[in-house]
Structure 1
């Protein structure tokens, strides 16, 4: 076979999201466009991009609402995008537009983290990058960090973690790390999980009737985390994680219509 043809031999097809070829090339089919920063004409929200860690190429997109009281600091949302750890970014239209609207409606400052993606960078890369981003945020606690928007606009006594799908999974695990390690003066007020990417060997609710979805999500999970122990890996199934106690005083919010969740202490957990 011609070497060029071999390079393009398809080995994993996760359409309509992405494809992987034999020689390792990843063809992402969704969320690849780059939307520039701007002042959003509909909401007045302003955005800009910052480098968090040049050593690993870690960046983030910051959002600030139109200020009506320049002497009042606003709650900070640290947001982690979805995409099964493998695709999407803060810079694509879906997440850029979503964060513009969210920041406007909630009147918060936001940091949307561009963590490295699998399979080129398998887990725990996304977790480590996200923790690095949180440590960067915490470097602004005394008002002398590298980014003025966080120094002057963000209330770091009132910080929320949030994300959808893989980003919900990341938010949960960042909460666990925060509960164990803290972050020099940064105070976590709550965690917002939007259809978090969790699983388990014992499906719950309607998911037990969708074997194809279970198989598909497990394939994606094993691709993102090659060293996983399986569907009951604590990274994938929070109910199997003994570190829940570190979140005992943390509030949770879920955007989970028509889903089943179990209350745990002051918060809740859902497998989806």
Structure 2
């Protein structure tokens, strides 16, 4: 509880407050949707336990995954929310992944990493890595993943969370309240960082950031939205990757006209969301 000696230092209403002593108060109970058969898409989902700290939902498309003639893509999905909000059971995330699974005919493993600000970076990275290792160890389990060997075919970035100390044009014109929260976000979830918003983990183009030539994939689909405050940084990253680096892969850029950050969660039945899902499905073929 706030007091003169323990004031609120980060106000992310209506989701949570962070106090000076590091304690966190979640402001509302989050609605949860259980795994199971979705009648709208005929996609089935199951709860998966990866480790003592990490769980996931696995989404199975409405086809026979045990067929020897069926080869499916597997999407390892790391949700957004600034590492702070949502889960695989959040209704808007669950509905989005049911729709994406159906359109792409892919298996999707949605990872529930431990959340900030209760857990600081790099806990979330460690949890996501544990999920990747779990997938690798279960690649021969046809009942969960598929009977095919594991190959990292590509990376899809959806409205990526990039930031930096020097504001871009799209950041300067963003809603001031939103801009303040975004400007404070990295310092809250990674207070141990000495570089602040130019930490390479949030600003991959900052001075001293690792070379983009070392990316661990050979294909990338970068999706951004025209009205997203972080749009400029997504475009800067794409330019640096495709024109300013020695990365030997191929990258594709997709921008949703007239849409804002994570519109596909807030408007799951829109034409823009349908187009985005179709674009992701095409990338996977």
TM-score range, shorter chain: 0.7 to 0.9
Deviation string 1:167-205 (CA, Å, 9 cap, x unpaired) is xxxxxxxxxxxxxxxxxxx32111111111111123333
Which shifted more, 59-68 or 251-260? 251-260
Given the alignment of the two structures, is residue 236 of structure 1 paired with residue 202 of structure 2, yes or no? yes
**How is 1:107-186 mapped onto 2 (pairs within 5 angstroms)?**
107-141=105-139, 143-144=140-141, 148-152=143-147, 155-156=148-149, 186=150
Equivalent of residue 223 in structure 2, options 231, 246, 255: 255
Using the alignment, how far apart are the partners of 2:27 and 2:218 within structure 1? Answer: 36
Q: Deviations over 1:87-114 (max 9, x none)?
A: 1111110111110000001110000000
1:91 aligns with 2:89: yes
Match of 1:177 in 2: none
- Write out aligned runs for 1:1-272 (5 A): 10-21=8-19, 24-29=23-28, 32-54=30-52, 57-67=53-63, 70-71=67-68, 72-141=70-139, 143-144=140-141, 148-152=143-147, 155-156=148-149, 186-210=150-174, 212=176, 213-228=178-193, 229-240=195-206, 241-247=209-215, 250-258=218-226, 259-260=231-232, 261=235, 262-263=238-239, 264-265=241-242, 266-267=250-251
Contact 1:78 1:113 in 2 (8 A): yes
As a proportion of its length, which structure holds more strand? 1
Q: 1:150 to 1:28 in 2, by over 3 A?
A: farther
**Contact 1:15-1:29 at 8 Å conserved across structures:** no
* Residues 8 and 102 of structure 1: CA distance in aligned 2, closer, same or farther (over 3 Å): farther
The structural deviation recorded for 1:86 is 1.2
TM-superposed CA distance for 1:19, in Å, is 2.1
Once the two structures are TM-superposed, the CA of residue 123 in structure 1 deviates from its matched residue by 0.4
CA distance in 1, matches of 2:216, 2:129: 20
Q: Which runs of 5+ in 1 are unaligned?
A: 157-185
Change (3 A) 1:13 1:38: same
Contact 2:24 2:117 in 1 (8 A): no
Q: 1:8 offset after TM fit, Å? A: 9.7
**Matched-pair contact (CA < 8 Å) for 2:138–2:144:** no
Where does structure 2 lack aligned partners over 5 or more consecutive residues? 243-249, 255-260, 262-285
Aligned partners of 1:225 and 1:209: how far apart in 2?
26
> How many matched pairs?
231
Question: Given that residues 113 and 130 in structure 1 are in contact (C-alpha distance below 8 angstroms), is that contact kept between their aligned partners in structure 2?
Answer: yes
Instruction: Report the TM-score, using the length of structure 2 for normalisation.
Output: 0.72
Quote how far apart the aligned CAs of 1:80 are. 0.7
Relative to structure 1, the CA distance from residue 51 to residue 19 in structure 2 (aligned partners, 3 Å threshold; closer, same or farther) is same
In structure 2, the CA distance between the partners of 1:249 and 1:220, relative to structure 1 (3 Å rule), is closer
Whole-angstrom CA distance in 1 between matches of 2:167 and 2:223: 20
Runs of 4+ in structure 1 off by over 4 angstroms are: 4-11
Structure 1 position 5, deviation (Å): 7.5
TM-score (norm 1): 0.76
1:104-137 CA-partner distances (Å, limit 9, x unpaired): 0111000000000111110000001000100111
